[in-house]
Chains A and B, each alone.
Chain A
Amino acid sequence: MTSAKTRPASDYPPGGDAFRHRHLIGIAQLTPWEISYVLDAAEEWVELNRSGAAKHDDRLAGLTIINAFFENSTRTLLSFEIAGKRLGADVVNMHAAQSSVKKGETLIDTAMTLNAMRADAMVIRHGSSGAVQLIAGKVDCPVLNAGDGRHEHPTQALLDALTIRRRKGKVEGLTIAICGDVLHSRVARSNILALTLLGNEVRIVAPPTLTPPAMERMHVTTFTDMDEGIRDADVVMMLRLQNERMDGAYLPSAREYHALYGLTPKRLEKAKPDAIVMHPGPMNRGVEIDSSVADDPVRSTITEQVEMGVAVRMACLDILTRRKRGVAGWN
C-alpha cells in the first residue's frame, strides 16, 4: 500500500476470506491485508459521510446493535452509535451505571441476557483486560471490542492507521513515536501491533514508570527522553494521561510531566518538518499537549481522527454482519 488510493477488490481474497473473523477482539488476530481491507472499506464511508445532508445507507436495516459499555465513554460510544445508525441499524446503548452490573450480576450473566435479546452485533467496552473476549466466547453474535482494560482498542488503531494513510499517502516505512502513558494504554498496545505489522518503525516514548516490561519483544524501541524519541519522526502520537497517574505513584506532578514529556511547539521541531500530531482524546491541554500544537490545522489530525473513527466503525459493523445478512460469499 503505497498511496491513499484503495486497492481494487480483486487484490483481496474473495468473499469472507478477505476478513476471516467472527469478532473484532484485537489487532493481534489480524493480518496486514485484513487491516488494509478494513481501511479500504472505510474510505467509502468517509465519502458518504462527507456527501452533504443524506448520510444514510440502509444495509443494516432491521438489525439490532447493542453498545454495552461497562466503563464510561462519551466519544467512542457516540462514534459507534452514529456508525450503526448511518448504516440503518437499530442501536441500543447500555451503560454499566444504569445496569444490573452494579447489583452484582456477573459479566457472563449480563452477556447471556443481552444475547437472549437477540442482538445482531454487540459493541463492548470493559475495564478489565480480556473481558470482551470472555463475552465473545459466550454469545451468538459478532462482538466488537471498544476497549478492554489495558489490552486492546482495535477500532482506535484502525482509525489511526486510516488517518495516517490519508495524511501521509501510506502507512508503511514511517517513523512513528507513541508518547505518554503506554503502561496503562490499550490504544498504545493496539497501535503498536497495527503499525509494526504494517511495516513502520515504532518508538515508545514514556517515563520508565509508565513503560511496560519486555517492550523489545513487541518490536519497538523505547525512549525516556522525549526529544530523542520524536527526532525525525513522521508521526507523533500522544496518549492521554489519566489524572490519577499524576498523584505521585507513577509521576511526581502534572507540571513535571509537562516539562519532560509535554508536546510543545519547540519540542515538535525535533520531528520531521511535515510530521503530524495525533491524539486519541480527550486531551489534557497543557499537560501532555500544548493547545497551540493541538489546534495547529496543518499538523494536528485530532478532529480528523474523530471523523475517521465513524467511517472505520461503519466498515467494521458492515463487514462483521455480512454473514448474518447473507451477503454472497460470506457464510
Chain B
Amino acid sequence: MELKPLHIIGAMLIDGDTPRPGSLLVVDGRIAALDPAEIPDGTETVDAKGQWLAPGIIDLGVFATDKPAFHFGGITRAALMPDNGPLDGAGLVERAAKGGKPDLWVHPLAAATKGLEGRELAEIGLMKQAGARAIATGRSRIADSGVMRRVLSYAASLGLVTIIHAEDEGLTAGAVATDGEMATRLGLASAPAMAEAIAIARDLALVEETGAPVHFRQVTTARGLDLIRAAKAKGLPVLCGITPAHLLLSDTAIGDFRTFARLSPPLRSEDDRHACLAAIADGTIDVLASGHDPRGPEDKRLPFAEALPGMAGAETLLALGLGLVRDGHVSPGRLFELLAGTPACLLGVDAGSLAVGKEADLILVNDATPWQVDAKKMAAWAGNTPFDGMPVQGRATMMWKGGQRIR
C-alpha cells in the first residue's frame, strides 16, 4: 500500500525536556524532518491543535497481546513476556512476533531457560533469529546461580539483554504480600521486602563478573534501588524499571482483600513507595511499563491468597505517567524516555524518539483531558486495575504506527 507523506502541524513536540511548538514530516513511514522547510506534493496535513506529539509508547514486559488496551493507551509496540507458552522455541517466538502486525508490533522476549524452569538453557540463538529482542526469566527468577551465570554470559555473547524478575524464592515462598501491618492484620502470608534486594545483589555480582547487560523489570524497594544506584555508579550495564502501581500505591491498597491489588512483586510499604518516586526522579529507574496482565474473575474473584497476581495496566500507563509529570517527579521529555526511548534502546528497535530516520510510531497526547478509571468499562479484555475509580488526566487522541494512522 502506498503511504502518503504526513505533515503534523501545530504540535508541541516532545523531543527535549519540555514540549516545544513545531511540526513533523513523515515520509515512507519514517520521520523525515522536524519543522520541515519543504513539504512534498500530496502530503496529508494533520493539525495537532497544540497537543503533544510524542513517540508511541514501547511497553516493556507485558503478559498478553491485548490490542484494544494498547491502542487505548498509546502503545505502538509491546515486549511480550515469555510466560504464556512459554516462549522457549523459535517457532513460538516467530508466531508471537506476528501477533499484532501491522498496527501493533509485538517484540517477544525469549524464555531464558527451557520451559522457564530455570534449569537448562533455551535455544536463545535460534529465538533471536526468529525475532526475539531480549531474553527474560519470566514471573520468577532463576534460582540456581550457576544456571543464571551461564544464561547471562550466553545471552551477552548474542548481544541480548537479560530481563530479570528479582525476588528470592526461599524468602517469598507462599507469600502474597509484603511483611508489615497490613499483611499481619489481614492474616496473609508475607515476605520481607529485602527478598528483592537479596536477589538483586546476587545478580549484580554475576553482572560484575560476566559483564552481561541486564534489566531488572521491576525494582520496588529502597534497598533494591540503592543497590542499582551503586551498580550504575560503578559503571555496570544495569537498567531497571517499575510500573505505576508501585509508584502510586502501597500495601494499604490490599486492605479489604482487594485482589486487583495483588501484584508480583507485592505492593510495598509507604516508605518504599517514596523511595521509588525519588528513584524515578533521580534517574535510577530507567523504564516505566504497564506490566499489562489482564485477568478475569476466574483468576481474581477469589480469596486473596488464591487469586493470581497481576493488573491490567496498559490503558492507565500514559495517564498515570502524565501524573508524575504534573506532580513534578519527571519532565515530559524524561517521561517519554522512560516509556519509549530507553525501551527502544534495550530492544534495539529503530523507534522510541522523535528523531529523523526513526520509524514514525507517533502519538498525539492531550495531556489535560480528565477521565476516570473504571474497571467495568476498560478496553482491555479484563478490567483488573488497582486504580479503579481514580480520576486521571491525559490520553492519546491519535496514533500512527510506521506513519500509518491506526487511531
Binding site for B on A (CB under 8 A): 28, 106-108, 126, 128-131, 133-134, 148-152, 186, 189, 212-215, 217-218
Contact = CB atoms under 8 A, between A and B. Distances in A.
A186 B190 CA distance: 15
A33 to B, nearest CB: 22
A259 B292 CA distance: 51
Contact of B257 (A28, A129, A213): A129
Given A106-B298, A130-B257, A133-B256, A212 B184 contact: yes
For the complex of A and B, list the 3 residue pairs with the smallest distance between their C-beta atoms, beginning with the closest.
A130-B257, A128-B303, A151-B187
What's the dominant secondary structure at chain B's contact region? helix
B185 interface: yes
Contact of A149 (B179, B181, B187): B187
Nearest to B301: A108
B305 interface: yes
B183 A213 contact: yes
Given A28-B185, A129-B303, A149-B188, 11 more contacts: A107-B303, A108-B302, A130-B186, A131-B303, A134-B257, A150-B188, A151-B186, A152-B187, A213-B183, A214-B183, A218-B184
27 contacts: A28-B185, A106-B302, A107-B302, A108-B297, A108-B302, A126-B303, A128-B303, A129-B188, A129-B257, A129-B303, A130-B186, A130-B188, A130-B257, A130-B303, A130-B305, A134-B257, A134-B301, A134-B302, A134-B303, A148-B187, A149-B305, A151-B188, A186-B187, A212-B183, A214-B179, A214-B180, A217-B184
A215 B181 CA distance: 7
Nearest to A108: B301
B72 interface: no
B187 A150 contact: yes
Contacts of B180: 213-214, 217
Contacts of B188: 129-130, 149-151
Contacts of A214: 179-181, 183-184
Nearest to B297: A108
A213 B184 contact: yes
Contacts of B190: 213
Most chain-A Cβ atoms within 10 A of its Cβ — which of B187, B188, B189, B256? B187
A28 B179 CA distance: 19
B304 A213 contact: no
Contacts of A217: 180-181, 184
A129 B186 contact: yes
Contacts of B302: 106-108, 134
A218 B181 contact: yes
A150 B187 CA distance: 5
Contacts of B257: 129-130, 133-134
Interface string B286-314: 00000000000110011111100000000
Task: Name, among B179, B185, B189, B301, the residue most crowded by chain A CB atoms within 10 Å (CB to CB).
Answer: B185
Contacts of A215: 184
User: Which of B180, B186, B298, B305 gathers the greatest number of chain A CB atoms within 10 Å?
Assistant: B186
Given A106-B298, A150-B187, A214-B184, A128 B305 contact: yes
A134 to B, nearest CB: 6
Nearest to A153: B187
A129 B257 CA distance: 8
A131 B190 CA distance: 17
A133 B303 CA distance: 9
Interface string B154-173: 00000000000000000000
Contacts of B304: 128-130
Contacts of B303: 107, 126, 128-131, 134, 148-149
Interface string B345-366: 0000000000000000000000
A188 to B, nearest CB: 10
A126 B189 CA distance: 16
B185 A189 contact: yes
Interface in B117-155: none
Contacts of B297: 108
Best-surrounded residue of A107, A129, A149, A217 (most CB of chain B within 10 A): A129
A187 to B, nearest CB: 11
B187 A213 contact: no
A216 B148 CA distance: 39
Contacts of B181: 214, 217-218
Nearest to B192: A213
A131 B306 CA distance: 10
B213 to A, nearest CB: 36
Most chain A C-beta atoms within 10 Å of own C-beta, residue among B181, B183, B298: B181
B19 to A, nearest CB: 44
Nearest to B256: A133
Contacts of A131: 303
Contacts of A130: 186, 188, 257, 303-305
Most B-side CB within 10 Å, residue of A126, A130, A149, A213: A130
A130 B182 CA distance: 13
Nearest to A151: B187
Interface in B335-390: none
